[in-house]
Structure 1
Amino acid sequence: MMRWFVLAIILTCLGSDSTLGEEVDFVRDVRPILQKYCYECHSGDVRKSGLRLDVRSEAMKGGELYGESIQAGKPEESPLWQFIADENADLQMPPEGPLPTSEEVATLHRWIQQGAVWPEGVDQVKLADPSDHWSFRSIERAALPQVTRTDWPFNAIDHFILAELEAQDLAPSEAASRADWLRRVTFDLTGLPPTQQQWEAFQNDDSAQAYQRVVERLLDSPRYGERWAQHWLDVVRYADTHGFEVNTERPNAWPYRDYVIEALNQDVPYDQFIREQLAGDALNADAATGFLVTASVLLPGQIGKDEASMRLARQDSIDEIVTNIGTSFLGMTIHCARCHNHKFDPISQQDYYEMQAFVSGVEYRDREFEIPLGDMQLDQRKRWNQRRSELSLLLARAAPLADSASSRPMVNSYENIDRFTPVRTQQVRFQVKATNRYEPCIDELEVFNVEGVNVALAEHGAKLSSSGNNVSPNRHELRLINDGQYGNSSSWMSNEVGGGWVTVEFEQPQLIEQVVWGRDRLGKFSDRLAMEYVIEVRDENGAWKSVANSANRIPFDPNKNSHSPLDVDSVVESEQAQVRELLQERTMLVQKLSQLEDTRSVFAGTFREPDEIRVLGRGSPEMPKQRVSPAVPNFLGNTTLPQDATEKQRRIALADWIVSPTNPLTARVMVNRIWQGHFGLGLVETSNDFGHNGVPPSHPELLDWLSAEFIRSGWSLKHMHRLIVLSSTYRQSSSFNPAAAEVDTDNRLLWRYPPQRLMGEVIRDSILALNGNLNLEMGGPGFSLFDKRGGLSGFSPIESFDKDGLRRMIYSHRVRRERDPVFGAFDCPDYGQSTPYRRESTTSIQALNLFNSRFMIEQSRTLAGRLKAQHAETAQQIEAVYQLVLLRPPTPQEREEASLLVNQHGLASLCRVLFNSNEFLYVR
């Protein structure tokens, strides 16, 4: 209090007008005070609370806690003066040692009040320009360096690698064997091992294009998208639960995963890939916007229901979006500027909130929209519909004949079978007499001949006519009644309340025996159901004759609306078990089709009026400051939007800036991720951080050449894969060279191919593939690894799998914080944080899981059974399992030891041993 009293007297003597006192000179009057009391903690590399006071630009920015420390003309609002002048301040400065005198404090007060003049050029320390960093400079396509060994380079990559090796008096390793290269490239591009047939074909191909043919086959495989989608999903933190303590399920998150797989398989240009993930709702790619909401989040109300908690939850959710955009696309930790200016990169707190403004209208919710089916989904739907039709045909054989003495199961909205004595005709008419409500609607009218062919399909040349059509484009048109697709969205609707008819005319007369139809075979709707109807055929004289009607059907009961048009109990007892099995399979297919066709609710974010974004003191929503507009950091561009820009305009503008060829980060970051996927480590080791705190590139000229080539190719990821895997650098063996290791211990110069362990997902998929159990069905909701799909705790692992559970692991339901109990031990991420690079640990749990888990025991037995069925002799079985798992025959010693093991413990034990071997688990 004494200091305040003296200070008040001094200030009074000086007068309230700063012009009355002598002008304060920074060098003469102010800097000595700062040096005496502040520099010990706030200069050079010592910057407590992120505050530096020996350099003008840093001092004016302030530290982490209070923003700008010097407010020109406003000493009372300047933290620098407040904490020095107030003896009772929470952060009274200096914390130890002698305190500034009242005269010194008054000098600082006058200096700030006079405008805090800190002349340029007087600083004793000159800082490097933080924006002059290698990753922020324009991409320049370097000329190929000269090399001595001109016979080694296959393409440009090899020139850059060899030049660095020769500069260190090193040489590349010899080429890998064909078997090693095939195994390596097949795992790299598809995440599955090569088959024996693929190995033999490659081994016997002596043409100059042998390697290229393998690469093209692998890139054309749908397995490629599944493999490389895993890399991307690791980076963007995709999972099927919200995370944190609540960890509730996101049942509709999976379409984003399927989008990524499809986009990679189609080689969607990377710039388009980015645009769709940020603004897919404007580009007919709604599911792609799932990218915006992949991260963990506590939704409003889960963190607390008071207003302050709701504001904090909202801030956290927007922060996660900025984090995803910054790390995934730009390799920048923009989110580190949420509470204070970035410690290392030239990103201010205002820059961060200006980035927030681009996505301030995004909400974490399911939203409804029409999803155009991609090639993968279309193929699925076709296969599922074909199988469903086959099942209906098999089940129909057990249905009672129409017009028979016995009553038939009730009319239902899912499916109805009308079977009758075979009759030859060229036309069938389905006539509705009454419905349970509104105009009649039929999703598919199927007419089967005695050979089991649905001759009513449009693809078989059938023609349609009707009494009238209540047309709703692409939903209720007449053409949709025989297109082979089920569900309300592909159905015919009459324009007559309670009645109407449809006629199907075949290309030529058919001997038919059943008509199958339904209101909505995906089970979503039960209104508009034909309750009274007659099915007629036209004879050779042109007269219509009834072959079935609703007279002997049990009346419809909405409370007992069954999926099955069959009365299983009426079937011959010896056939009842088979009928129930077929019914169960069909029910599962209906569920899959329903999820595929009716996926209009997708966790891809909702878009609304953007929030008003302000800079927040210390990142707290309770400390709002100036309002900001959408803008990118100044050192990276000049994209700025007005505050009244619409929500969609903001995201489109952000996407345009990110994919602009003038943006130096986007291409570099993605090329580095591709390189890392093939060599285990990127040219830039810190693949999510290309800023000052990241590691510089090992081959900067190569990185820029690849980046320029990436853009030149039209942003084609597959083009970059071809360049890399066909290079001599990639084709090297992994043989260890002690002399080279002394010069380059970490193999950053790539004097050999770096051995890498298979990812946990790849190990599981490969075991299933080798024993013939892998289910290659693509897309759709994930299969469960645990007994629950979300929640607080208590996840019991599923130990034995069949059907869907034997799909590739990328199709598993990802629960945050819960790793797969067997393969999660192989460093699978917990999906809570971005995982740009998976570490490779070695633990005893890994070996124990691969030898003793129920999954491994079951799969080893399956493989053993498969080999025994193919080979009668133990010696043949041993040869076969080595060739299958390791792509080579056993050595004489291995043959002898394996024979002893099989004779004592069985062939399944040998399978377990090989699955646990380093030769299987590592790619060399």
Structure 2
Amino acid sequence: MPRTTLPALLLLGACASSGRGAEPPKGAPPPAVEFARDVQPILAKHCVSCHGPDKQRGGLRLDRSADALKGGDSGKALVPGKPAESLLLKKLMIEDAQERMPPNRDPLTSEQIRVLTAWVEAGAKWPAVENAADKHWAFQPVKRSVVPEAPNTKTRNAIDAFVAAKLSASGLSLSPEADRRVLIRRLKFDLLGLPPTPEEVEAFVADKDANAYEKLVDKYLASPHYGERWARHWLDVVRFAESNGFETNQFRPNAWHYRDYVIKALNDDKPYDQFVKEQLAGDTLGADAATGFIVGGAWDEVKSPDLTLTLNQRADELHDMIGTTGSAFLGLTVACARCHAHKFDPISQLDYYRIKAVFAGVQHGERPVRTGDAVTRAKEADRLRAQLAELEAKVAALEPLADPAATDARRVPVNARLNTERFKPVRAKFVRFVTFETNSVEPCLDELEVFSFGSKPVNVALASNGAKATSSGDYPGSPNIHSLPFINDGKYGNGRSWISNKSGRGWVELELAEPVVIDRVAWARDREGKYTDRVPTRYRIDVSTDHESWVVVASSDDRAPFAEGASAVPNGLTATDRAAWVKLTQQITTLRKRIEELVRGQMAYAGRLMAPEVTHRLHRGDATQQKEVVGPGALGELGPKLTIPESATDAERRAALAKWITDPAHPLTARVMVNRLWQHHFGTGIVDTPSDFGRNGGKPTHPELLDWLASELVTPSGGEEPLPNPSPKRRGAEGKEDSAPPSFLGKGVGGLGSSNPWSLKHIHRLIVTSATYRQTSSANDAGLAKDAQTRLLWRYPPQRIEAEPLRDAVLFVSGKLDLKMGGPGFDLFEPNGNYVKVYTPKKQFGPAEFRRMVYQQKPRMQLDDTFGVFDCPDAGQIAPKRNVSITPLQALNLLNSEFMLQQAGYFAERITKDAGADPGAQVKRAFLLAFQRPPTDKELAAATKLVKEHGLTALCRAVLNANEFVFVD
């Protein structure tokens, strides 16, 4: 008997003994099995309905080789060369109809089983075409397209050749060039997000240089405001916000570092591949704040005592990191493979968990970051700490010491922000803080500090100095922000505090590294001053050297009772000492605030990085149903092959993934980014689903152009690739011909947009210097009839300004815009100290709120009261493309909101200052500032009448509400 048939006969023998009566074929060995002819029809008819793209019962998918060979929840379905170990074959021959595959249906015939068995024994090989990632256009390698022959003489660079060729095939052509007033307004809003000044407009209109427009492009690309404008687009893509979301939605005070990193990176024209690498592994590249990308999403800071819920919360955190990375850089919905293989794209469930393993060492939270002035900040903080110690010593000499035997309130009142207990020097190894009563629920301490006696006191309570903490019990439900390690970690605030597990009482004990003489204990409920609940109001502080004999050194018995806003001046001081105490404490408060600012300036919400957790594949994505351990990696069927050792550190895993994403051979990275740039220049991308290039996404309108741009981003031609038929003449910005050669790559006058690999400014310049971009926005019947949505770009599509540049433009024309860059942002909501953050919009606005809107402290799930209705994303999820809606609230907000009424008044003041009291001159100035053009005679007459009858503010209010102000042609 030939050896090749033995396993099949063994299996069929088992089948026969079970009563099914299947018999192996007799005679000569059957012909070799072919997958397409013999195997695939069996799988398609009997298996794929339950184990295919729509369903993956038991975690098994049998329509693709990678998934089939991976197996399902029960183990390996197919073991090439080993039919007896292949669970699929065993399942086909179970006697029980419910357990047998396919269940509750006629069993496979003996011949079908023989075919499958022979196929497995021969290696379970799938055709090469099936093993290829996919034939979908976006998964094919990027190939530099040949620039087509331009059908007319309007082309300025290769972009126009591709666009014109597509138009010609539809019987259309490019529209004439827009006039200079339209072009400068379009360009400045597009690149900088601001309107041009009347003086800028007139200078450009009057400039006779054939390269006047190109010079303007270079000027705007070199402006620091370019980064502010384009950072907003990227922040939408990566769901950036400055609060946690979920129920508490607490503010993230140091999230702004990531926003500033993005602005600077874009202004510096950081190569895009480096930009990607830094956001995934900036801690290894000297760009710590960049990893704010990874933890930029929502985070449920309140953990449940239910282990199941906590596991799911952690799984959700990592899910957000996986999904955002896939969509932002690859334009893929990788997150869809959490519970099963992707239903449309070649992304297996195993791929999802490989990427999850890459991020398994990243936790939400802050960490110190290296900034350009980090050393200077640290030195300044040390200098101020020395001053602070001197001042505190002077205050200590004035304050009465704690007297455990006293019962009269003669020291300062108990307060929420900081309490200093001074006592006679005593030797201690153990220090214990015991709470008997609070002003509400469980006691909370954000830090317990113990200072050594002497001229240079040291906080010996710090864990970093060897102290160990124990407690009566931790608050259930919030181990991430209210747990014991925070009691002596040297960081203040509610977000890093300890809460007892008992209402009104509890204790914390510190074991110092060695016995030491101490004379001071400091404690607070919340040194940031946000919360005043949970304050210990009756307490005692004990010390011991042996943990058996305890001595009371301070208590609440000789302090004034807790009261909001009570005077903190100690009782019993003389008038002179009282004045000295007040002055010293004011100086101390100022110093502490400055030191806190210096220290906080070195902290960024960029993730806490630690050893990676073990990653398991989860059955149907359920965090409680762990399957096999999965090591780090990337997508198995897309992009270059990537192998990451399971022993790789957290940083090594993220760096390897970043390198894989930015490999020039990757088919998606460059395509996705150039499409994003195109989208924001023309309103819609070449692919209209900018974060989904998969099979369920949109198809490119100009695939050859997309690939040409992607190739040009990675490997710019440097101007050596001529147009097939360069025009001997081109038309200038006013439509007049000039003899300058076509600016094929738009090489910058000042070196911008030059041939550096991965240069985003280079692609920007190519786009905005093209004839396609410089067209008029006027419609014509032929274009509307054949391409009403302007996807073929027979004209420049008019666009409404988004919320942020709209608000900036209002401030710009009113003369109130503060162009200060960087640093902590401004808040458009009233301050409050609630544990659950309440966002109440401000009704009054001043200079603090007059910065560019990219610097707003953007909360999650809460929009600005005036401009949020202009389709601002709430950062609850990624927003690669904003909606453009038209609603009554938009008109009402622009007309009646407190902000707009205030700015209309400021606008009128500016016009009066610029143009004087003459209504006609005022109207002309208003039009130039808002619309970058003078009024027509009809407009001048009507507007002058309005000013005379209702005042200049009424005109300004009307101008700021005009469509012409809100739209860019």
- With structure 1 as the length reference, what TM-score do the two structures score? 0.70
Contact 2:273 2:662 in 1 (8 A): yes
Match for residue 203 of structure 1 among 202, 205, 221: 205
Helix, strand or coil: the match of 1:850? helix
Could you tell me which residue of structure 2 aligns to residue 340 of structure 1? 340
1:606 shift after superposition = 1.5
1:373 shift after superposition = 4.3
1:303 shift after superposition = 4.4
Could you tell me which residue of structure 2 aligns to residue 353 of structure 1? 353
Letter in 2 for 1:321: M
Cα RMSD, aligned residues only:
4.3
**Residue 220 of structure 1 pairs with residue 222 of structure 2:** yes
Could you tell me which residue of structure 2 aligns to residue 922 of structure 1? 967
Letter in 2 for 1:667: A
Q: Can you list the C-alpha shifts for 1:701-730, whole angstroms capped at 9, x where unaligned?
A: 111111122123321111111111111111
**Number of aligned positions between the proteins:** 721
**Percentage of pairs with the same residue:** 42
Helix, strand or coil: the match of 2:628? strand
Contact 2:365 2:608 in 1 (8 A): yes
Q: Which runs of 5+ in 2 are unaligned?
A: 1-11, 381-452, 459-575, 717-755
The correspondence of residues 195-344 of structure 1 with structure 2, limited to 5 A, is 195-299=197-301, 302-344=302-344
1:226 shift after superposition = 0.6
Q: Can you list the C-alpha shifts for 1:508-565, whole angstroms capped at 9, x where unaligned?
A: xxxxxxxxxxxxxxxxxxxxxxxxxxxxxxxxxxxxxxxxxxxxx9899677535569
Could you tell me which residue of structure 1 aligns to residue 843 of structure 2? 799
Match for residue 758 of structure 1 among 769, 786, 801: 801
The correspondence of residues 90-129 of structure 1 with structure 2, limited to 5 A, is 99-101=104-106
Q: What is the distance in 2 between the residues matched to 1:33 and 1:134?
A: 29
| Structure 1 pair 296–915 and aligned structure 2 pair: CA distance change class (3 A) | same
The correspondence of residues 304-453 of structure 1 with structure 2, limited to 5 A, is 304-373=304-373, 437-438=455-456
1:872 shift after superposition = 0.9
Q: What is the distance in 2 between the residues matched to 1:345 and 1:643?
A: 26
The correspondence of residues 885-896 of structure 1 with structure 2, limited to 5 A, is 885-896=930-941
Could you tell me which residue of structure 1 aligns to residue 912 of structure 2? 868
Helix, strand or coil: the match of 2:144? coil
The correspondence of residues 325-724 of structure 1 with structure 2, limited to 5 A, is 325-373=325-373, 437-438=455-456, 561-563=584-586, 595=597, 598-635=600-637, 636-711=639-714, 712=716, 713-724=756-767
Q: What is the distance in 2 between the residues matched to 1:345 and 1:901?
A: 60
Contact 2:60 2:73 in 1 (8 A): no
Match for residue 897 of structure 2 among 853, 865, 889: 853
| Structure 1 pair 157–110 and aligned structure 2 pair: CA distance change class (3 A) | closer
Q: Can you list the C-alpha shifts for 1:577-614, whole angstroms capped at 9, x where unaligned?
A: xxxxxxxxx97x99689636741221101211111222
| Structure 1 pair 219–563 and aligned structure 2 pair: CA distance change class (3 A) | farther
Helix, strand or coil: the match of 1:293? coil
Contact 1:67 1:617 in 2 (8 A): no
Helix, strand or coil: the match of 1:824? coil
| Structure 1 pair 648–50 and aligned structure 2 pair: CA distance change class (3 A) | same
1:297 shift after superposition = 2.2
Match for residue 871 of structure 2 among 821, 827, 849: 827
Q: Can you list the C-alpha shifts for 1:95-123, whole angstroms capped at 9, x where unaligned?
A: xxxx435x659999999889867998999
Helix, strand or coil: the match of 1:914? helix
Q: Can you list the C-alpha shifts for 1:206-246, whole angstroms capped at 9, x where unaligned?
A: 11121122112211221111100000000000111111223
| Structure 1 pair 683–35 and aligned structure 2 pair: CA distance change class (3 A) | closer
Q: What is the distance in 1 between the residues matched to 2:654 and 2:45?
A: 50
Match for residue 948 of structure 2 among 897, 903, 923: 903
More displaced stretch, 799-808 vs 786-795: 786-795
Letter in 2 for 1:185: L
Q: What is the distance in 2 between the residues matched to 1:740 and 1:242?
A: 47
Contact 2:15 2:22 in 1 (8 A): no
Contact 1:293 1:364 in 2 (8 A): yes
Contact 1:50 1:63 in 2 (8 A): no
Helix, strand or coil: the match of 2:604? strand
Contact 2:83 2:89 in 1 (8 A): no
Q: What is the distance in 1 between the residues matched to 2:671 and 2:261?
A: 23
1:48 shift after superposition = 8.4
Contact 2:22 2:110 in 1 (8 A): no
Contact 1:15 1:21 in 2 (8 A): no
Q: What is the distance in 1 between the residues matched to 2:43 and 2:677?
A: 50
Match for residue 815 of structure 1 among 843, 846, 859: 859
Match for residue 138 of structure 1 among 137, 141, 145: 141
Helix, strand or coil: the match of 1:731? coil
Could you tell me which residue of structure 1 aligns to residue 790 of structure 2? 747
| Structure 1 pair 35–694 and aligned structure 2 pair: CA distance change class (3 A) | closer
| Structure 1 pair 744–606 and aligned structure 2 pair: CA distance change class (3 A) | same
Letter in 2 for 1:890: P
Q: What is the distance in 1 between the residues matched to 2:43 and 2:594?
A: 71
**Residue 729 of structure 1 pairs with residue 772 of structure 2:** yes
Helix, strand or coil: the match of 1:825? coil
Q: What is the distance in 2 between the residues matched to 1:178 and 1:894?
A: 21
Q: Which runs of 5+ in 1 are unaligned?
A: 1-9, 385-434, 441-552, 566-585
Helix, strand or coil: the match of 1:823? coil
Q: What is the distance in 2 between the residues matched to 1:126 and 1:604?
A: 43
Q: What is the distance in 1 between the residues matched to 2:276 and 2:708?
A: 21
Q: What is the distance in 1 between the residues matched to 2:348 and 2:906?
A: 59
Q: What is the distance in 1 between the residues matched to 2:670 and 2:42?
A: 48
| Structure 1 pair 621–53 and aligned structure 2 pair: CA distance change class (3 A) | closer
Match for residue 770 of structure 1 among 813, 817, 832: 813
| Structure 1 pair 239–104 and aligned structure 2 pair: CA distance change class (3 A) | same
Contact 1:18 1:113 in 2 (8 A): no
Q: Can you list the C-alpha shifts for 1:149-202, whole angstroms capped at 9, x where unaligned?
A: 13x111121111111112222111111110110000000111111011211211
Could you tell me which residue of structure 1 aligns to residue 888 of structure 2? 844
Helix, strand or coil: the match of 1:721? helix
Letter in 2 for 1:858: Q
Contact 2:250 2:837 in 1 (8 A): no
Contact 1:358 1:654 in 2 (8 A): yes
Letter in 1 for 2:841: P
Q: What is the distance in 2 between the residues matched to 1:29 and 1:18?
A: 23
Contact 2:43 2:63 in 1 (8 A): no
| Structure 1 pair 84–861 and aligned structure 2 pair: CA distance change class (3 A) | farther
1:60 shift after superposition = 3.2
| Structure 1 pair 769–84 and aligned structure 2 pair: CA distance change class (3 A) | farther
Q: Can you list the C-alpha shifts for 1:288-309, whole angstroms capped at 9, x where unaligned?
A: 111111011224xx24223332
Q: Can you list the C-alpha shifts for 1:428-486, whole angstroms capped at 9, x where unaligned?
A: xxxxxxx993499xxxxxxxxxxxxxxxxxxxxxxxxxxxxxxxxxxxxxxxxxxxxxx
1:63 shift after superposition = 11
Contact 2:119 2:125 in 1 (8 A): no
Could you tell me which residue of structure 2 aligns to residue 393 of structure 1? none
Q: Can you list the C-alpha shifts for 1:820-841, whole angstroms capped at 9, x where unaligned?
A: 1110100000101111111110
Letter in 2 for 1:866: R
